[in-house]
Structures are given as structure tokens and as C-alpha cells.
């Protein structure tokens, strides 16, 4: 069972590989509507209609060192198993939007995993890409973006150990309470 956080890392890696300059990750948990929804949007090189179909097939990859690409098919399979749905919208040269929706109370739903570390790692790894996370739990919204962080940190690099320590605690707290940065 692959944790939801690892699926998020995979989708963001796909967006980075597609030369995205702007990535948006929206995670929404709604207990009342029994929904967990992930949305990953990028402005990378995009896919045509034919490719959108193909990438949902486990035997398709553009990675040169691999024979199969499993990220998208595994996420799609998990959505369907959990009573949800999976969609890819993409336009060549414009970008891609992936929506993965699960029934929140499905017994097959994998654990979220270490989402604060996931968000932190993705923020730290996106040096040339702007990435923004919005995590909503039952109406409580937490937002953090690499642009926002750069403005606050100024000359201090993301990789500064004090910054990393602070951010990990900050993200963990704010996911629970909501807050915007
Ligand atoms: N956001 C995206 N923009 C453009 N192309 C994409 C995007 N996401 C996936 N693709 C294309 O779909 C292919 C399949 O993606 P998928 O994540 O399923 O496998 P992979 O990334 O090739 O390998 P794996 O994730 O198993 O390491 C990629 O090789 C890439 O060509
Ligand atoms: Mg992938």
C-alpha cells in the first residue's frame, strides 16, 4: 500500500520532469462529504489527447532508464479501489491538471503518511520552480508557497538547518490549525 504522500511526491516529480515553472498542489479533506481530493496542476509541456490516454497505461513512460511508468496507473487504481475517481486534463504546451479523489472512509484508503515532511521536501527541492500547497481539512485552510517563503527568508537559504527545523514544526502545526504563508 503506497502512502498518499508518496503519490503526491510522484505527481510533483512528473510535473518537474515536464519542465513546469509553476506547480500547485491542493489537498482537500471533507469529512461531511466523505471526500479526500488531491489536485496537482502544472504549467509544464503538457500532453495531447492520445498521450493522456497512454499515460494511464502502466507500460508507458518517457523515462529513458525505465520500461514501465507506474506513478499514474497506481494512483488511478487506488482512486477506483477507494470508490473515487481519477482525471487528467492536459493541453500540449499549456500544462496538466490531475485530480485524484477518494472516499475518505474507504477501508482501502492508504494512510496519508508524513505529509509535513513531504511538503517540506518538495518546497526545498523546487529551486527553479514555484510550488504552492493548499491543504484544507473540513474548511480549515493551510497555504504555503515557495514564493511566499522566499519573500520571508530573503537571503537565508531554504537549506539552512534552522529554517528546516522551524518549517517542519510550523507546517505540522498549521495543517491542524490553518494559516497562510
Ligand atoms: N504532469 C505531467 N506533464 C507531462 N507529462 C507527464 C506528466 N505526468 C506524467 N507525464 C508523462 O506520463 C508518463 C508516465 O508517468 P508515470 O508517473 O505514470 O510514470 P513515470 O514518471 O514515467 O515513472 P515512475 O513514476 O514509475 O517513476 C511520464 O513518463 C511522462 O511522459
Ligand atoms: Mg512518475
Q: Is 61 in the pocket of ligand 1 (CB under 6 A)?
A: yes
- Centroid of chain to Cα 129: 14
Nearest CA to ligand 1 atom 13: 61
Distance CA 65, CA 74 (A): 19
Q: What is the pTM of this model?
A: 0.93
pLDDT tens, residue order, the chain (181 aa): 689 999 999 999 999 999 999 999 999 999 999 999 999 999 999 999 999 999 988 777 777 777 766 799 999 999 999 999 999 999 999 999 999 999 999 999 999 999 999 999 999 887 789 999 999 999 999 999 999 888 888 888 888 899 999 899 999 998 888 766 4
**51 three-state secondary structure:** helix
Phi, psi of 93 (to 5 degrees): 80, -5
Protein residue with least CA distance to atom 12, ligand 1: 55
Distance CA 178, CA 158 (A): 22
Q: How many Å lie between the centroid of ligand 2 and the Cα of residue 132?
A: 19
What grid cell was written down for 30?
A: 471533507
Amino acid at each position: 500500500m503506497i502512502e498518499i504522500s508518496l503519490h503526491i511526491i510522484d505527481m510533483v516529480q512528473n510535473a518537474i520532469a515536464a519542465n513546469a515553472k509553476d506547480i500547485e498542489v491542493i489537498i482537500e479533506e471533507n469529512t461531511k462529504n466523505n471526500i479526500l481530493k488531491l489536485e496537482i496542476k502544472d504549467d509544464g509541456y503538457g500532453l495531447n489527447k492520445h498521450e493522456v490516454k497512454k499515460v494511464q497505461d502502466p507500460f508507458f513512460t518517457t523515462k529513458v532508464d525505465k520500461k514501465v511508468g507506474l506513478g499514474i496507473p497506481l494512483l488511478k487504481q487506488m482512486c477506483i479501489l477507494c470508490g473515487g475517481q481519477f482525471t487528467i486534463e492536459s493541453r500540449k504546451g499549456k500544462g496538466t491538471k490531475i485530480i485524484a479523489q477518494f472516499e475518505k472512509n474507504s477501508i482501502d484508503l492508504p494512510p496519508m503518511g508524513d505529509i509535513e515532511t513531504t511538503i517540506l521536501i518538495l518546497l526545498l527541492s523546487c529551486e527553479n520552480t514555484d510550488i504552492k500547497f493548499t491543504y484544507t481539512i473540513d474548511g480549515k485552510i493551510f497555504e504555503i508557497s515557495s514564493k511566499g517563503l522566499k519573500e520571508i527568508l530573503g537571503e537565508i537559504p531554504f537549506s539552512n538547518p534552522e529554517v528546516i527545523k522551524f518549517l517542519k514544526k510550523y507546517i505540522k502545526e498549521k495543517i491542524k490549525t490553518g494559516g497562510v504563508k
